[in-house]
Amino acid sequence: MSRPSASPPTDERRLLEAARGGDEDAFRRLIEPYRAEVHAHCYRMLGSVHDAEDALQDTLLRAWRGLHGFEGGRPLRPWLYRIATNASLDAAAKRPKRVLPIDHSAPATPESGPGAPILERIWVEPYPDERVGLAAGYAAPEARYEQREGVELAFIAALQHLPARQRAVLILREVLGFSAREVAEFLETSTASVNSALQRARKGVEERLPEQSQQATLRSLGDSRLRELVQRYVEAWESRNVEAMVTLLVKDATFAMPPHPRWFRGRDAVIAFLAGTGRPRLRHLPVRASGQPAVGWYLWDADRSGYLPAALEVLTLEGSQVREIHAFASPELFAFFGLPAELPE
């Protein structure tokens, strides 16, 4: 994505004037080109697609109310990011940070089961990057992380461990490619403070990230091998084929099922948990989530005579095997990914 020119295009200036005059349709058209990327920014800040929706709506409301204070000769995109960043900072200050189960507790034994779900909003959620049109590659030449790398589960989970302002600085500088001067303006601080916060944030994130991003892993596999891997995984899971699962999982694989707090480490433990769940009637739909391969699992419901959403499972790969399985047992997530609310028999 190229950086905006110093002068906004004629259409944008015309829409801005109409919006300032109270034209809500002009405002929607003015904002629409930036809506998806601003939504992704709110998600990176907050670690939750639900919270990102709320922060985006807050951003749009603040932008609508603040149109008369916007200098029309300046690009709109940085102004929107300034508003979205501060809306996200306000939201982050009102709730606990989001985590994955692996950051919440020690691994459990398969016999203990997944545990009673924790329904408070403490879990990192997956992101529908393809549905909102999050592009591949870098947002700007100055960016350090790819756009889809910037929504991978490991990256989002690492971000949530940072203080909120450090998180904002790293996202704005390293994912979106804004300059230190621009970020200082967004946060009403000095360039020196931004650079200092960035150094601390880099250290905090890098020590939590794997050596290779999922985007690099997926490119090394290629589309054909990736489809084959996911298909083998689905078939093994549906049939409860232990031998096939052994070949698909790395030795220290992990399985988590938020909002259930317990998680399991090690191929043997994951397979033991799997074996203990019986052989339910399942159907699935493939999807992409957080820049990673994913599966929407549906479970047979005899009362409804159909298959209902059960879990959105996001796979983290290591080479041609599965390293992490995050089965988000939150049926309400399916709508964000454009998945149907029910599958017929």
Mean pLDDT, to the nearest integer, of 283-300?
Answer: 96
CATH topology for 214-344 is Nuclear Transport Factor 2; Chain: A, (3.10.450)
Tens digit of pLDDT for each residue in 185-232? 999 999 999 999 999 999 999 999 999 999 999 999 999 999 999 999
Mean pLDDT of the chain: 93
**Please, which residues bridge with residue 285 across strands?**
296
Q: How far apart are CA 114 and CA 102, in angstroms?
A: 13
pLDDT for 278 equals 83
Mean local confidence (pLDDT), 240-252: 94
**Domain(s) of CATH 3.10.450.50: residues in the chain:** 214-344
SS3 per residue for the chain:
CCCCCCCCCHHHHHHHHHHHCCCHHHHHHHHHHHHHHHHHHHHHHHCCHHHHHHHHHHHHHHHHHCHHHCCCCCCHHHHHHHHHHHHHHHHHCCCCCCECHHHHCCCCCHHHCCCCCCCCCCECCCCCCCCCCCCCCCCCCCCCCCCCHHHCHHHHHHHCCCCHHHHHHHHHHHHCCCCHHHHHHHHCCCHHHHHHHHHHHHHHHHCCCCCCCHHHHHHHHHHHHHHHHHHHHHHHHHHCCHHHHHHHEEEEEEEECCCCCCEEECHHHHHHHHHCCCCCCEEEEEEEECCEEEEEEEEEECCCCEEEEEEEEEEEEECCEEEEEEEECCHHHHHHHCCCCCEEC
State the pLDDT at residue 3.
47
Q: Is the pLDDT of residue 124 over 80?
A: yes
In this prediction, residues 251-266 reach a mean pLDDT of 97
Has residue 304 got a pLDDT over 70? yes
Report the distance separating Cα 270 and Cα 91, nearest Å.
Answer: 36
For the domain made up of 1-95, the CATH class stated in words is: mainly alpha
pTM: 0.93
Give pLDDT, residue 8: 63
Does pLDDT of 136 surpass 90?
no
CATH 1.10.1740.10 residue spans of the chain: 1-95
